[in-house]
Structure 1
Amino acid sequence: MFEMDLDVWELIARGAVVYVVLLLLMRMSGKRTVGQFTPFDLLVVMLLSEAAGPSMVGKDQSLWGGLIVCAVLLLVNALVALVTTHFGAAERILEGEAVLLGRDGVLFDAVRKRHRVSRNEINTALRACDCEMDQVQSMFLEADGQITVQKIPSARSER
């Protein structure tokens, strides 16, 4: 249980490499991967964690090996947060930026499709702000995958 099969430095390197590679893969997969999870997204995340586990610990099944990898993951995550806080370019690359989905009552369908935002998600965001599309001043897909809607200030509900 306490005897490690791998060198500490190998466990540290494995954990750091897997974190960085998965971070890059998640960024390449788009904003919707990290936004609101559908059951399919949750399944992918669960399978990713299951697949990545052995690559981080290799043949080491010791308690210490697992704890070292956990500590490395938390440390690398803290370093990424520190870097994105202090460097704007790193923040844009690692966290992304908001994307304009619509303006002045017009939904940009090509942008919506490119970022894999369903019409149902658009309708949900509209209901959340209690407005119709013709009352939208601007609609954004935020870097975290959330959809935010800004209403036209003079728009009133006709109910």
Structure 2
Amino acid sequence: MVDNWDALWRILLLGAAAYLALIALLRVSGKRTLAKLNAFDLVVTVALGSTLATIVLSRDVTLLEGLAALLMLIALQYVIAAMAVRWRVAERLAKSDPRPVLIDGVFDCEALRRERVTRADVLSAIRSKGFGDLCDIAAVVLETDGSLSVISHEHAGSRSALPLVRDSS
């Protein structure tokens, strides 16, 4: 049974208002705000969710304060993403470059060590794509968002999608 109806109504009404405000802010700020392109984007997404939860559940945070926090997070993400598009140094600060951890079936042990990725992680990614033999793999790339992309020899083509990866190794 509910002991405090006022608290329940507060959560429902404040939660709905904060949710609608967040949706409006996200629509205005564009798709990039919730993109999971790199670790920076993931942090912003988690921070938005945490802020929304705090607005809804904490009596110490007013709706206006919470909306200001959401707006600040979205504005900072927008500014940093805009700077990263314009200046390489800002891009380098905001995100890492993709890095090959396996090329032509051969592990890059230095890359694995530096990126703190295990052979087991790479093998798992390869298996999850339906491959059973490293000889079938042209490259496995640790992407800027932390995911592992597996490119087979069959789909590697001219490898024109890999130059940035090779430059960062």
Q: TM-score range by the shorter chain?
A: 0.5 to 0.7
Give the Å deviation of 1:68.
1.2
Which residue of structure 2 aligns with residue 88 of structure 1? Answer: 88
* 1:143 aligned partner, one-letter code: T
Which residue of structure 2 aligns with residue 110 of structure 1? Answer: 110
Pairs aligned (count): 107
Give the Å deviation of 1:82.
1.4
Which residue of structure 1 aligns with residue 138 of structure 2? Answer: 137
How far does the alpha carbon of each residue in 1:34-56 deviate from its partner, in whole angstroms, 9 at most, with x for none? 39x9xxxxxxx79xx69xx8xxx
SS of 1:101 mapped into structure 2: strand
Structure 2's unaligned 5+ residue stretches are 1-37, 55-59, 156-169
Alignment of 1:11-26 (within 5 A): none
Which residue of structure 2 aligns with residue 97 of structure 1? Answer: 97
Which residue of structure 2 aligns with residue 72 of structure 1? Answer: 72
How far does the alpha carbon of each residue in 1:98-146 deviate from its partner, in whole angstroms, 9 at most, with x for none? 1111112111223213212133321222123332222222221111111
* TM-score of the two chains, using structure 2 as the length reference: 0.51
Distance in 2 between the 1:83 and 1:146 partners? 24
Distance in 2 between the 1:62 and 1:138 partners? 50
Which residue of structure 2 aligns with residue 16 of structure 1? Answer: none
Root-mean-square deviation (CA, aligned residues, Å) is 3.4
Distance in 1 between the 2:61 and 2:89 partners? 39
Give the Å deviation of 1:85.
2.1
Query: Relative CO higher for 1 or 2, CA cutoff 8 Å, sep ≥ 6?
Result: 1
Which residue of structure 2 aligns with residue 122 of structure 1? Answer: 122
Distance in 2 between the 1:105 and 1:61 partners? 54
Alignment of 1:144-155 (within 5 A): 144-153=145-154
Give the Å deviation of 1:89.
2.9
How far does the alpha carbon of each residue in 1:15-35 deviate from its partner, in whole angstroms, 9 at most, with x for none? xxxxxxxxxxxxxxxx7xx39
* 2:120 aligned partner, one-letter code: N
* 1:136 aligned partner, one-letter code: I
Structure 1 residues 153 and 61, CA gap change in structure 2 (3 angstroms): closer
* TM-score of the two chains, using structure 1 as the length reference: 0.54
Structure 1's unaligned 5+ residue stretches are 1-30, 38-44, 54-59, 155-159
